[in-house]
C-alpha cells in the first residue's frame, strides 16, 4: 500500500456511492484512494474526525466578487474567507459587478490579477455576453472562462447591459460550437414594464416589490431561452429560479432532450414572502422571494431533479445601497449575501424535509462542478482534488452578522438558527479553515 501525505478518517464519508465509514488517502493535493475505515494506509499525517461528516467541498457557481472596481462591495480576500468558513472550496465568479466587467480578455486578465495571492479557496470565472461582444466569446473561452452569463433585463449596473433575442441568437450559435453553457438571468422586461404601470404602490411594502417582478417575467424568459436552445443547440442554464411555475417548462424541455439545467438559491428555499416585513430591504433580490407555497414547490423540483443545483447568488453591496434606513424597496440594491451561510441554510431546509447528506453533496458540490466543467472538483473520489470539509450536521448556530467574513454585515439570515457547522475546510489537501481560524491564506488558485 502506497504511503499517503495525509489520511482523513470519518465514520460518515459522503461519496457518489453513498455515505459510509472510510479513510480518504491524499497525496500531492489529490485523493488517491478511499479505503475501508479500518484499513487506513500509512501516512505522514493522519486526521480522524470521528463521527463528523466528511463532505466534498462545496462548489458555488454563482458568486459576485466585484473586484476590481467595486471592492468596497466585496473583494476576493473577504469573499473567499467567507467561502472557506462556509465550506465552499471553489467559487465561480460572475462577470459583473466588477469594473471592468468580464466581457473581454483584457478585463479577464485584470480580474485574475486581482485574485492572485488573495484567495483562500480556488476560483474560476464566467465570461459575459453583452450587446456587441460575440467576437470576444472564443478568445475568452481560450483564456479559460468556464462559460458565459447574460441578462435579459437591466442588470443594475450600466457596464453590463441586457441582450435581446436578436443578439442572443448569434452568441448562442457561437457558444454551441465552443461547447460552453450560457447562464441566463431569466426575466423579460415586458411583464415587468406592465406591472410597473400600476400606480400608487408604497415603496416600503414588500408586496409592492413582489408585484413589480411578476411570475410572467420568468415564464416568458424561460420560454424564449428554451426556444433558442432548441434552435441553436447551445447549453442553457437558468440561474436563480424563483417562480416554481417554470418547473413544468423545464421538465418538458428535459424530456424533449434539450441541454438545459437550472438552479435555485438558499434564500428562495428558506424564506417566504408572507414572512418578509415591510421595509426589510435585506431580503430584496431579483427575481424576488415568493410565497410559502411556491417555496415548497421549489423544494419538490430540487428533490425530483428538475432543479439541478443550489448556488448562493452571493451579491453583496454596502449597507447604504441596501437602503436599510429608509426601507425603500424601489431604490435598494437587489442582492443577498450568503456565501458563508448558504450550505447551512440549504441543509437546514433539506433535513426538515427528509433529504439526506447525499442530496446535499449532489446539489451543492457535484452538479455545480459538472455545470462549470470542473472535473476534479465536487466529489470525494480518486483522482479528484482533495477538497473536503469536516461538517457537523447536527450542530446548530445563530447567525450573527458582525461575525461573518463577508465585507458588510448585512444578511436576511441575521438572528436565525441554522443547522450544519463547518469545522474544517481543506483545499487540495491543505487546511485553509479550522474552527474560526484561517491557518493558510492566499492558497486559492485559478482553475481553468
Which CATH number does the domain housing residue 61 bear? 3.20.20.140
- The answer, yes or no, to whether the previous bond of 100 is cis (omega within 30 of 0) is yes
38 is a domain residue: yes
Do residues 40 and 101 both lie within one domain? Answer: no
341 and 303 together in one domain:
yes
Residues 13 and 80 in one domain: no
Based on the fold, state whether residues 47 and 61 are members of the same structural domain. no
pLDDT at 199: 57
Position 35 scores a pLDDT of 96
Q: 41 with 143, same domain? A: no
Examine residue 377 and state whether it is found in any structural domain, yes or no: no
447 lies in some domain: no
Is residue 252 in a domain? yes
Tell me, yes or no, whether 45 and 128 share the same domain. no
Domain count, the chain: 2
Banded model confidence at residue 45, pLDDT cuts 50, 70, 90: very high
Asked whether residue 274 is domain-assigned, the answer is: yes
Q: What is the percent of the chain where pLDDT is above 70? A: 99
Q: With a cut of 80, say whether residue 403 has pLDDT above it.
A: yes
Helix (H) or strand (E) holding 323: none
Residue 34: give the domain boundaries: 4-54+385-434
- Same domain for 328 and 272, yes or no, is yes
Nearest to 32 by CA among 446, 445, 440, 429: 429
Residue 72 and residue 120 in one domain: yes
The answer to whether residue 441 is domain-embedded is no
**Do both 32 and 165 map to the same domain?**
no
What global pTM score does this model have?
0.98
Positive or negative, the CA dihedral 413, 149, 222, 215 is: positive
Q: Do 99 and 38 fall into the same domain?
A: no
pLDDT of residue 196: 84
| 70 three-class SS | coil
Label the pairing between strands 260-264 and 309-310.
parallel
Decide which of 371, 404, 425 is a domain's last residue. 371
Q: How confident is the model at residue 1 (pLDDT cuts 50, 70, 90)?
A: low
User: Does 200 score more than 70 pLDDT?
Assistant: no
List, for residues 83-126, the tens digit of each pLDDT value.
999 999 999 999 999 999 999 999 999 999 999 999 999 999 99
The answer to whether the CB of 54 falls within 8 A of the CB of 46 is no
Picking from 326, 348, 371, the residue at the C-terminal end of a domain is: 371
351 and 420 housed in the same domain: no
Domain contains 292: yes
Residues 146 and 224 in one domain: yes
Let me know if residue 376 belongs to a domain: no
Amino acid at each position: 500500500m502506497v504511503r499517503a501525505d495525509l489520511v482523513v478518517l470519518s465514520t460518515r464519508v459522503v461519496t457518489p456511492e453513498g455515505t459510509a465509514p472510510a479513510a480518504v488517502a491524499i497525496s500531492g493535493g489529490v485523493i488517491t484512494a478511499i479505503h475501508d475505515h479500518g484499513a487506513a494506509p500509512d501516512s505522514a499525517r493522519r486526521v480522524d474526525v470521528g463521527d463528523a461528516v466528511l463532505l466534498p467541498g462545496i462548489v458555488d457557481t454563482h458568486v459576485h466578487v466585484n473586484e476590481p472596481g467595486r471592492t468596497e462591495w466585496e473583494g476576493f480576500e473577504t469573499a473567499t474567507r467567507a467561502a472557506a468558513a462556509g465550506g465552499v472550496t471553489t467559487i465561480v465568479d460572475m462577470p459583473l459587478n466588477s469594473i471592468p466587467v468580464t466581457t473581454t480578455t483584457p478585463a479577464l486578465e485584470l480580474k485574475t490579477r486581482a485574485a492572485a495571492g488573495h484567495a483562500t479557496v480556488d476560483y474560476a470565472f464566467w465570461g459575459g455576453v453583452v450587446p456587441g461582444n460575440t467576437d470576444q466569446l472564443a478568445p475568452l473561452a481560450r483564456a479559460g472562462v468556464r462559460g458565459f452569463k447574460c441578462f435579459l433585463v437591466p442588470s443594475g449596473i450600466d457596464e453590463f447591459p441586457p441582450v435581446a433575442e436578436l443578439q442572443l441568437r448569434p452568441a448562442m450559435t457561437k457558444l454551441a460550437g465552443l461547447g460552453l453553457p450560457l447562464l441566463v438571468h431569466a426575466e423579460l422586461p415586458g411583464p415587468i414594464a406592465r406591472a410597473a404601470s400600476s400606480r400608487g404602490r408604497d415603496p416600503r411594502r414588500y408586496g409592492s416589490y413582489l408585484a413589480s417582478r411578476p411570475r410572467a417575467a420568468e415564464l416568458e424568459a424561460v420560454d424564449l431561452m428554451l426556444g433558442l436552445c432548441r434552435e441553436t443547440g447551445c447549453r442553457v442554464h437558468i440561474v436563480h429560479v424563483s417562480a416554481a411555475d417554470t418547473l413544468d417548462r423545464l421538465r418538458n424541455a428535459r424530456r424533449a432532450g434539450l441541454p438545459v439545467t437550472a438552479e435555485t438559491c438558499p434564500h428562495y428555499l428558506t424564506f417566504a414572502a408572507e414572512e418578509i416585513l415591510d421595509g426589510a430591504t435585506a431580503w430584496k433580490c431579483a427575481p424576488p422571494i415568493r410565497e410559502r407555497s411556491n417555496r415548497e414547490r421549489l423544494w419538490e423540483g430540487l428533490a425530483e431533479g428538475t432543479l439541478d443545483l443550489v448556488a448562493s447568488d452571493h451579491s453583496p453591496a454596502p449597507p447604504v445601497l441596501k437602503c436599510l434606513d429608509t426601507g425603500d424597496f424601489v431604490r435598494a440594491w437587489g442582492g443577498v449575501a450568503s456565501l458563508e451561510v448558504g450550505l447551512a441554510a440549504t441543509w437546514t431546509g433539506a433535513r426538515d424535509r427528509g433529504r439526506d447528506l447525499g442530496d446535499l453533496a449532489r446539489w451543492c458540490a457535484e452538479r455545480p462542478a459538472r455545470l462549470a466543467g470542473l472535473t476534479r472538483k465536487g466529489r470525494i473520489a480518486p483522482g479528484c482534488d482533495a477538497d473536503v470539509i469536516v461538517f457537523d450536521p447536527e450542530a446548530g448556530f445563530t447567525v450573527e452578522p458582525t461575525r461573518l467574513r463577508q465585507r458588510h454585515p448585512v444578511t436576511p439570515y441575521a438572528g436565525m438558527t441554522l443547522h450544519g457547522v463547518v469545522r474544517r475546510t481543506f483545499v487540495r489537501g491543505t487546511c485553509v479553515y479550522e474552527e474560526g481560524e484561517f491557518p493558510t491564506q492566499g492558497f486559492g488558485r485559478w482553475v481553468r
